[in-house]
Amino acid sequence: MNASQLKSNEYGEWYKPYIATLNEEILIEELEIALHRFIRFVQDIPIEKHDYAYAEGKWTIKDIIQHLIDCERIFSYRALCFARNDKTFLPGFEENDYANEAKGKNRSLISLLTELAAVRQATLLLFKDFTEDELLRLGTASNNSMSVRAVGFIIIGHQNHHQKIFEDRYL
């Protein structure tokens, strides 16, 4: 199952830029590969950049990694609900409120990357357990229809999106 197989009814407009970072990646393989690629990339960022924000009010690199952790947990919960055929309409979340409360900038880079790896391991185990039928199931989150498989690709695309921002604005 790869990203090019996604249909437009499987994710909302907001997620199109994340899906656009993907091509023929296979979901389970890319969930694992993308994490390793991201960790290697972040580990090469000079230490003086870890607490850098490119403009007033923007997040630091560590804040963004915390943001990725929080979002992946939320997205994985959504995937679990949809796969289990839970018809509850799931709410959105305010990412800036989460970032302000999480205080990622107060953590060490190694603790953030360790947590990201643990969260991704849990995500991988979750997605490996889904059947083909479950991956195609739809649910509603943030007033958008989403499939389980789209949620997995959104996790990857969201990470790719922020890595590109690191490259363009932080380095």
pLDDT of 18 reads: 97
Half-sphere exposure at residue 1, Cβ-oriented, CA atoms within 13 angstroms = 21
Burial status of residue 165 (CB atoms within 10 A of its CB: 0-12, 13-18, 19 or more): middle
**pTM for this model (two decimals):** 0.96
Average pLDDT estimate for 133-157: 97
Residue 116 CA to residue 110 CA, distance in Å, equals 10
pLDDT of 1 reads: 84
What digits encode the pLDDT tens for the residues 45-74?
999 999 999 999 999 999 999 999 999 999
